[in-house]
Amino acid sequence: MALSKSEEQLMQILWKQDKAFMKDLIDAYPHPKPAPTTVATLLKRMQDKNFVDYKQLGRSREYFALVKKKDYFSRQLRGMMKTFFNDSATQFASFFTQETDLTKEELEDLKRLIDEEIKNK
């Protein structure tokens, strides 16, 4: 299940903070800051999707992520590859290297990463 853009923005904040109270989350937003009710609604939706949970501490809730950033990004990338590149890593890599403005050094870094992965397989 995917997050909406607003949920993803809040999730990015939570990933950076690891654990946070509502006030901490709102404080981390750029101006204009969302209303507490908006953030509460987003947190509830994200909890329903099993992305976040909380620990009750007195009258406050300390929120934390249930999904790691790397796992979420990985799942999103696999979905994008399936949808836009016929589930082909080669088509994705071809598009990425040709349609982005990578420098020669960045391409050489990518080549080194790929060579390293090949060596490890």
Chain segment 10-57, per-residue pLDDT in tens: 999 999 999 999 999 999 999 999 999 999 999 999 999 999 999 999
Alpha-carbon distance of 64 to 16, in angstroms, equals 10
Tell me the domains of the chain and their CATH numbers: 5-65 (1.10.10.10), 88-121 (no CATH)
**pLDDT attached to residue 98:** 86
Q: Are 66 and 50 in contact (CB under 8 A)?
A: yes
C-alpha closest to that of 67 among 12, 26, 110: 12
Reply yes or no on whether the pLDDT at 1 is more than 80: no
Q: Are 63 and 14 in contact (CB under 8 A)?
A: yes
